[in-house]
């Protein structure tokens, strides 16, 4: 299949198939290509099977928004592989302004909830990554130890283009490099890490009542986060 997204389903069967350097997806025996025209070459048969499943599930019009694994794979191949250092630098930069480091002054209920949700992953980062981070009250920037930032940069720089693609999406969704690296390391289930990320939003909903638009947005982000973790897991086999 040529580069770019097909507009409608024109194939009968989608299946994982070996390609040079890895695994790909064949539509009626023809290799699937990325939007930039590269062969869709994936690192594991598990990811190839899952991507093939997205194409097999298409009914009628092709909707890229409903094919998160394919979209992430295209990004990894067409964008990240060519220049992983740029994205790694951008992602690692979040360590200097991590969500978990900026706490509310009050009310006490929110303060306690942030402490319970955010202190454990910060302790994990200090122990597992060698990256202790300073915590402050309010939004004024807090300077982080250079040794910690260097440790975070090193961890991010060591990721494959596929893992880096997933991590970039997770950081954008949560505002936390620490939580995203915790997901990458398998420290806790993805759902639990997401719940840690949305402590503030959930607190506000409890205090002021459910806002359907905000709840819908949060649910879309939750699903995107979980799909990013799934993509990362599949890419590792």
- Answer yes or no: is pLDDT of 84 > 50: yes
Q: Which two tokens stand for residue 69?
A: 């694994």
- Answer yes or no: is pLDDT of 27 > 80: yes
Q: Which two tokens stand for residue 229?
A: 């973790």
Query: Which is it for strands 102-103 and 136-137: parallel, antiparallel or unpaired?
Result: parallel
- Answer yes or no: is pLDDT of 2 > 90: no
Q: Which two tokens stand for residue 218?
A: 């949060």
Q: Which residues contact 125 (CB under 8 A, 6 or more apart)?
A: 131, 132, 133, 178, 181, 182
pLDDT in tens, 147-196: 999 999 999 999 999 999 999 999 999 999 999 999 999 999 999 999 99
Least confident of 5-14, 169-178, 185-194, 199-208: 5-14
pLDDT band with cut points at 50, 70 and 90 for residue 212: confident
Rounded CA-CA distance 84/81 in Å is 6
- Answer yes or no: is pLDDT of 15 > 90: yes
Please tell me the pTM assigned to this model: 0.94
Q: Domains of the chain (ranges plus CATH)? A: 14-63 (3.30.2180.10), 84-236 (1.10.3580.10)
- Answer yes or no: is pLDDT of 201 > 90: yes
* Residue with the larger pLDDT of the pair 189 and 59: 189
**3-state DSSP assignment of residue 187:** coil
* Residue with the larger pLDDT of the pair 9 and 237: 9
Average pLDDT over the chain, rounded to whole? 94
pLDDT in tens, 86-134: 999 999 999 999 999 999 999 999 999 999 999 999 999 999 999 999 9
């Amino acid at each position: 299949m040529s580069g770019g997204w097909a507009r409608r389903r024109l194939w009968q069967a989608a299946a994982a198939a070996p390609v040079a350097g890895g695994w790909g997806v064949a539509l009626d025996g023809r290799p699937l290509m990325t939007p930039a025209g590269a062969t869709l070459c994936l690192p594991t048969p598990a990811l190839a099977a899952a991507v093939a499943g997205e194409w097999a599930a298409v009914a009628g019009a092709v909707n890229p928004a409903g094919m998160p694994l394919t979209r992430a794979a295209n990004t990894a191949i067409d964008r990240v592989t060519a220049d992983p250092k740029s994205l790694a630098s951008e992602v690692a930069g979040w360590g200097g302004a991590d969500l978990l480091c900026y706490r509310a002054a009050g009310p006490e209920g929110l303060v306690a909830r942030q402490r319970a949700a955010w202190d454990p992953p910060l302790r994990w980062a200090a122990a597992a990554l060698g990256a202790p981070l300073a915590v402050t009250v309010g939004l004024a920037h807090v300077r982080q130890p250079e040794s910690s930032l260097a440790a975070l940069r090193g961890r991010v720089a060591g990721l494959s283009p596929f893992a880096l693609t997933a991590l970039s999406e997770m950081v954008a969704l949560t505002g936390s490099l620490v939580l995203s690296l915790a997901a990458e390391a398998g420290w806790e289930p993805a759902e639990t890490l997401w719940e840690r990320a949305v402590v503030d939003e959930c607190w506000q909903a409890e205090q002021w009542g459910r806002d359907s638009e905000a709840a819908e947005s949060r649910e879309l982000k939750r699903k995107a986060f979980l799909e990013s973790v799934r993509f990362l897991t599949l890419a590792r086999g």
